[in-house]
Structure 1
Amino acid sequence: MDVYGDLPFPRTALAEAATRYAREIVPEPIFNHCMRTYLYGRALGEARGMRAGHDYDDELLFLGSVLHDTGLSEPGDGDQRFDLDGADLAARFLTERGVAADRVEIVWDAIALHLHYDLALRKRPEIALVSAGAGYDLGPAGPFTLPEEYTARVHEALPRLHAAAVLHRAIVGQALAKPRKAPPFSLPGELVRQETGAVWPTWRELMSTPPSWNDYEGFEDEGREPGGGAA
């Protein structure tokens, strides 16, 4: 951590082990994005009046941040969306190092929910701030902004290296190799749709694809009010 100067990374043994692990398994642009996620999440928390170590567990915020895209690594490339694969990989990493189950669960939730900002925001700060930090690093919009001199210092220590483009390529690459990693209407699925020009099935098509309960069989929707008819 000393290579990052006075940037406020936690210096615990577990945080440093997680940093080494993430650096080993994901490309540098994604690793830098994960590290910036922590810095921006923590700074956004401060903008909302939250103090590290007082209002939330700083080590857990860091672990959720630095490990949140490990599903895009070779060891993290399972059969689920990359966010869930990453959450499972992080949970295994932490459990193998004796981290308590309740703490592992918080990190799992932070990673599994990081693509779902509206949901993450309703959870505890360690979860909300991972999503907020990751989102800010890819598109600094929202009710809070960070000082330009701070973001410049972060980017000097952790260069962007085309982060958004590299993430896009990694997500789509995994999903093209394993289509089940990109279900319809998910973020990976949408990125694959944009890449390939695939057409999403309609709701009716999804509900009518075997096996199904055949809810549309004999149903005439023309001129009906939503929810109309006998119960």
Structure 2
Amino acid sequence: MSIQPPDWYSEFDLPRSELAVAALRLAEEAEEPYLFRHSVRGYLFARELGRHRGLRAGADYHDEQLFLGCVLHDLGLTEQGNGGQRFEVDGADLAAAFLRERGADETTVAVVWDAVALHTSDGIAARKAPEVALAQAGIALDVMGRGREALPEGFAERVHGAFPRDDLGYAIADAIVAQAMGNPAKASPLSFPGQLLRHRLPHSAVPDWDDLIARAGWGDRPTAGSGRPDRNG
């Protein structure tokens, strides 16, 4: 018997396969409401960006894979997905395990893993499969508004009316930093979580690039005119 999707957002014509609905339910059950709504908005904005770029679902990209990548992209910020890696990778691993348990093919698993793991990776996701590129673009649009001019008039208002923001940009940063404070290994200084952590802690509490180079042990010194301090002593 097929699983029926929730009625309260059917107006947006979300994918209705059993796998898609199961993924949606996983996200809704595992995530805080603000995070779940962000995941759905990310898909809706990604799909509209695809249309704006002239991409056709079913021909130029796989709509269910795009949906899965967006809906599952923040599982790493849940209690269930909070492992020992940066949250994007923890979430990708959990998403892949979920898909395999439900018999998804390995192509779908690979695409969704990339979409989740690379959703904070500007300049990389855009060079991957179209589902990965669109997921990253839609998620970024929801967080930072980048590309919002491509949305149809009134569309963002409809989406936000159904899925309120609840100060997403700051709430999600709080969640990422809270994980990193509990386990600094989740926030490498060169990662997106590491950047957020650096902004929230006192100056020099988290090493910057110069600190990392000084600790490398190779004796590299700042080039002439760089204006950088020499931290090799």
TM-score (norm 2): 0.88
C-alpha separation in 2, matches of 1:22 and 1:171: 17
- Alignment of 1:45 with 2:50, yes or no, is yes
State which drifts further: 4-13 or 16-25. Answer: 4-13
Residue 117 of structure 1 corresponds to: 122
Picking from 1, 12, 17, the partner of 2:17 is 12
Shift of the alpha carbon at 1:159? 1.1
Secondary structure at 1:175's aligned position in 2? helix
1:64-118 Cα shifts (integer Å, max 9, x gaps): 0000001000010001111111001100110111111221011000111110121
1:8 and 1:39 in contact (8 A); partners too = no
C-alpha separation in 1, matches of 2:10 and 2:109: 28
Give unmatched runs, 5+ long, in structure 2. Answer: 226-233
Picking from 109, 112, 115, the partner of 1:107 is 112
State which drifts further: 147-156 or 134-143. Answer: 134-143
Residue 228 of structure 1 corresponds to: none
C-alpha separation in 2, matches of 1:223 and 1:154: 52
Residue 73 of structure 1 corresponds to: 78
RMSD of equivalent CA atoms: 2.0
1:47 and 1:144 in contact (8 A); partners too = no
1:149-168 equivalences under 5 Å are: 149-168=154-173
Secondary structure at 1:192's aligned position in 2? helix
Counterpart amino acid of residue 215 in structure 1:
W
Counterpart amino acid of residue 212 in structure 2:
L
Note closer, same or farther for the CA distance 1:48–1:207 as it changes in structure 2 (3 Å cut): same
State which drifts further: 28-37 or 94-103. Answer: 94-103
Secondary structure at 2:11's aligned position in 1? coil
- Alignment of 1:206 with 2:212, yes or no, is yes
Q: Which stretches of structure 1, 4 residues or longer, exceed 6 Å deviation after superposition?
A: 219-222
1:44 and 1:144 in contact (8 A); partners too = no
Picking from 169, 191, 215, the partner of 2:218 is 215
The percent identity for this pair of structures is 46
Note closer, same or farther for the CA distance 1:221–1:37 as it changes in structure 2 (3 Å cut): closer
Residue 177 of structure 1 corresponds to: 182
C-alpha separation in 2, matches of 1:160 and 1:205: 37
C-alpha separation in 1, matches of 2:94 and 2:135: 17
Give unmatched runs, 5+ long, in structure 1. Answer: 225-231
Q: What is the total number of aligned residue pairs between the two structures?
A: 220
C-alpha separation in 2, matches of 1:37 and 1:220: 43
Note closer, same or farther for the CA distance 1:136–1:143 as it changes in structure 2 (3 Å cut): closer
Residue 150 of structure 2 corresponds to: 145
C-alpha separation in 1, matches of 2:222 and 2:200: 34
1:164-191 Cα shifts (integer Å, max 9, x gaps): 1221111011110001111103111111
Picking from 34, 38, 41, the partner of 2:39 is 34
State which drifts further: 11-20 or 182-191. Answer: 182-191
Secondary structure at 1:114's aligned position in 2? coil
TM-score (norm 1): 0.88
Counterpart amino acid of residue 31 in structure 2:
V
